[in-house]
Amino acid sequence: MMIIPDYAAYIFDLDGTVYLGDALLPDADTTIRRLRAAGARVLFLSNNPTRTRAQYAARLTALGIPTEPDEVVNSSFVLVRWLLAEAPGSRLFVVGEQPLCDELLAAGFELADNAEDVAFVIASFDRTFVYRKLQIAFDALRAGARFIATNPDRYCPTPGGGEPDAAAIIAAIEACSAHPVEVIVGKPSPIMARTVLDLLQLPPARCLMIGDRLETDIAMGIEAGMATALTLTGATDRRMLAASSTRPDFVIESIADLCPRQEPYLSRARCP
C-alpha cells in the first residue's frame, strides 16, 4: 500500500468514486468525515448536470455525508458562470434536462423552444432527447448560434453498466450540422479546474483530485497542476490504466485508501 501525503483540499468526483447509483461506496462516509475532522477542505465535483448543486448536496447528506451546496461543483454550475462572464442574459437553446434549465433560468437567461435568435446551443446529458431537439439545434447553428456543451463523457456509470451521456448528444448535433462544439466546460476542461481553484483559494499543488476516469478526472487534475488519485471503483480498471498514457500520482482500490486503517500507513495529521 502506498503512502499518500497530506493535502489541504480533497476534490472528489461523485459517480463511481463516492457512490455508484443509489449506493454509497464502502467507507466513503467515514473517509470524508475523517478528512474533514483533520481540517482538510472537501469539494465534490461532477460532470453530471442532471441535478442542481442543492440536489447533489441533499443526496450526499441523505447518504450519510453532510454536505452544503457550496461544497459541490457540477458542470451546469460551471456553465452558468462561464455564460454570465461571456454573454449574460442571452437566449439559449438547451438540449438537456430540467435541472440544467432551472439553473440557467435562475441566472437570468432566456430559454428558447425554437431556433429564432438563439445565441448558444447547449448540448448536455439528456435522457429526454428527441428528433425535434436535434432539428432546433441544427436550425439554430445554421443561423449563427454558437455551440457549447456541459461535459464530454461518453456514458454515466450505473450499477447495471451505464447510460449514454453528453458525448452522444454532442456527436449527433456535430454530425448533422458540421459545426464542431466550441467549448466544453466540464472535466477535463481548464474552465472547470479554474472554477474549483477559485472557490478553494489554494494553489493546485496543495489539492488532490480523486476520480475514476483517466480522461476526465485525472486529465483535468494533471493539466491544472494538482496531485491526482485514480480510484478503481468506477469506470477504469487496471487493464485500462496500463493501456493509457495518462498517469495518476496514486492508484487506489477505493477512497478508503486515503485514510487507511492499518497503523503503519496512518497519517494522524490527516485522518484522526
pLDDT digits (tens, 9 = 90+) for 169-215: 999 999 999 999 999 999 999 999 999 999 999 999 999 999 999 99
CA distance 175 to 227: 36
pLDDT digits (tens, 9 = 90+) for 2-40: 668 899 999 999 989 999 888 999 999 999 999 999 999
The catalytic position among 6, 15, 29, 198 is 15
Q: How confident is the model at residue 1 (pLDDT cuts 50, 70, 90)?
A: low
- Domain extents in the chain: 9-47+188-265, 77-184
Q: How far is CA 96 from the centre of its chain?
A: 15
139 within 8 A of 62, measured Cβ to Cβ: no
**117 belongs to the catalytic site:** no
pLDDT of residue 270: 55
CA distance 258 to 228: 12
CA distance 151 to 62: 26
pLDDT of residue 261: 56
Instruction: Cite the beta strand spans of 87-204 per DSSP E.
Output: 91-95, 110-111, 120-123, 146-149, 155-158, 161-164, 183-184
Lay out the sheet containing 207-211: strands in order across: 72-74, 41-46, 9-13, 207-211, 227-231, 250-252
Fold equal for 9-47+188-265 and 77-184? yes
State mean pLDDT over 70-89: 97
Q: Fold for 9-47+188-265, please state it.
A: Rossmann fold (3.40.50)
Return the amino acid letter for 10: Y
Instruction: Give the right CATH number for 77-184 from 3.40.50.720, 3.40.50.1100, 3.40.50.1000, 3.40.50.800.
Output: 3.40.50.1000
Q: Is the pTM of this model over 0.75?
A: yes
The catalytic position among 6, 13, 102, 217 is 13
The answer on pLDDT for 267 being more than 70 is: no
CB under 8 Å to 113, separation ≥6 — which residues? Answer: 93, 136
Mean pLDDT lowest among 109-123, 148-162, 197-211: 148-162
